Chain A
Amino acid sequence: MSQIELENLAFAYPEKSFELSVDHQVLSDSMIAIVGQNGAGKSTIFKLLTGLLKAQSGKISVDGVEFSELDPKHRLQKIGITFQNPDDQLFNATVKREVEWSASQVMHDQDAISVKADAVLNKVGLAGKAGENPYDLSLSERKLLTVATVLVVDPEIYLFDEPMMSLDWPSRQMLTTIFHQLADSGHQIITITHDMDWVATEFSKVHVMERGMFKFEGTPRELFGDRELVQRVGLLPPRIMTVAELLGDSRTYLSPEDYQAQNSSY
């Protein structure tokens, strides 16, 4: 599995008071969630990781190689990203063309590209929409299309910025399954999300950001077990913990099923 290393990274936007500052941070689990309030710097990290923004100082290396030294094709094969707003990255006339365009950045055989595009559209449930204009799709379908454009490139590391936003429940379940399949086949998944219930049950590692800095890393159980930290960085625990607390129980639970397992064994 891949490993991303951030060293002495500093970045500031012109005309904004926000500053990002990372002394040393390693991202090396298969299913990583990055959490924090709006404005904590989560999306900025993603833009630095993909080269969309350039840090004022410091370096980012992937598997020991400085990312900025890779050529564009190798960067795409190393790290793929889907943005929070699908409209930031869709521009082709049809759904299938959108996926094929993405594939053509790393592949050249047109027939192979077409076959692969069909396969990933099928995987995200958009096979029936291949001929449609992306802007005739629902928001939820456009989000899934952006996932397809990254799946077709099959990078080693996937960055997803709020992938569940605006998705309905069946699509959420489908995407969770795809994430686990990717992780099981040796890919690294790094996801920005506000969905703490999802973080609690599906991720192996959580990184917390606050005001441009990494403030915590650990398992979901370690994070949500530290109530003082969760409150200080402006997060909420999973729903089940709020519910349990209202019942007078302040232990750490990740899901209703976890509550049941901890409370019905005797």
Chain B
Amino acid sequence: MDEDKRIILNQLSVRYRGSDDLQLRDITVSAEAGQIIGIVGNSHSGKSTLCQVLAGVVPQIISAEMQGSCQVLGRFAKDDWRQYNAMTGVVLQNPAGQLSGLSDTVEDEIAFDLINQGIDEAIIKRRVANVAAQMGLSDQLGQQPESLSGGQMQRLAIATAIVTDPQLLILDDPTSEMDPLGRQQFFDWLANANTTVVIVSSELDDLCEVADVIWILKDGQLVANGSPVTVFNHLNSDWQIPEPTIYRLAKGMNWRLSTGAIPVTISQLKEARYVAN
């Protein structure tokens, strides 16, 4: 397939300066543009480092020893950082730390990148209103960013990341501070997102519904790569990753797909129950 339409990691290893251990070890994997890639793993598995490499933050901003390569939609961060950076939208783990600190209102904060690009004011206003509505922040546009709750702050970070229409959206645990309804609304939005998305999340039930591909990381290594149903049907107990709710239910009830696999999504569950009956 055309390299311009893929994410290609080739023998990627990363070690932060001063660290004895490798944060990522010899990762070789690729995914197609337009897919939602779910990254799963425990503490110190390398999830956040992988997000930072995909965002180009490592090694462009945070210095680290990096071997191998990370190619995103035909580009390398080191070749043209400005263009690479413009192509990605990023939400890292601490959304409050991502605020520009220069905006008096939520509206200005969302508009920040567009203003810097010199875009026409009327277009900015429309675009900001649209993105705020998508993230459920329409009522907060006039508030100070610092006054938002944790969940609202995460939605603001997502709004600032998507306002420029990035070709690759990178989200590191974007719902950790959201309440249940906020989380559900976010994943409903994600299911219809019209771009390539890499998302780290521990919400396995939600990931199974939206992700095309799941990557499981353990101690910096990629230990599983495949569709949600494939990956969760081959869980290794050493990885210490829980089974999704639907998988537990179907396993207990002995509802299996015609392939013999245990379902992980609602539509698969309905099919498996039909097969069983």
Interface of A toward B, CB cutoff 8 Å: 37-39, 84-85, 138-141, 162, 165-166, 168-171, 194, 196-197, 234-236, 239-240, 243, 246-247, 255-257, 259-260, 263-264
Contact = CB atoms under 8 A, between A and B. Distances in A.
Contact of B248 (A169, A236, A257): A257
B85 interface: no
B176 A260 contact: no
A243 B249 contact: yes
Nearest to B242: A169
Interface in B252-277: 252-253, 266, 269-270, 273
Contacts, number: 82
Interface stretch (B53-61, B100-108, B126-134, B149-157): B149-157
B269 A169 contact: no
Nearest to B152: A38
A247 B43 contact: no
A114 B94 CA distance: 33
7 contacts: A38-B150, A84-B150, A169-B241, A196-B180, A236-B181, A239-B245, A257-B252
Contacts of B11: none
Interface residues of B, number: 35
Interface string B156-178: 00000000000000000100111
Contacts of A235: 180-181
B42 A234 contact: no
Contacts of A197: 245
B270 A247 contact: yes
Contact of B43 (A38, A165, A171, A236): A171
B266 A246 contact: yes
B246 interface: yes
B215 to A, nearest CB: 16
A240 B94 CA distance: 30
Interface of B: prevailing SS: helix
B65 interface: no
B202 interface: yes
Interface string B224-248: 0000000000000000111001101
Nearest to A244: B249
A139 B93 contact: yes
B21 interface: no
A194 B252 contact: no
A246 B178 CA distance: 24
A169 B252 CA distance: 21
A265 to B, nearest CB: 12
A141 B43 CA distance: 9
Nearest to B247: A256
B34 interface: no
Interface string B32-60: 00000000011110000000000000000
Given A38-B151, A139-B93, A247-B269, A240 B43 contact: no
B26 interface: no
A260 B181 contact: no
Contact of A247 (B179, B182, B273): B273
B176 to A, nearest CB: 5
A247 B42 CA distance: 32
Contacts of A171: 43
Interchain residue pairs A-B with the least CB separation, the first 6: A168-B42, A256-B248, A260-B252, A256-B249, A236-B180, A239-B245
B67 interface: no
B184 interface: yes
Given A38-B182, A84-B150, A259 B249 contact: yes
B205 interface: yes
Contacts of B180: 194, 196, 235-236
Contacts of B183: 194
Nearest to B240: A170
A148 to B, nearest CB: 16
A170 B218 CA distance: 13
A239 B205 contact: yes
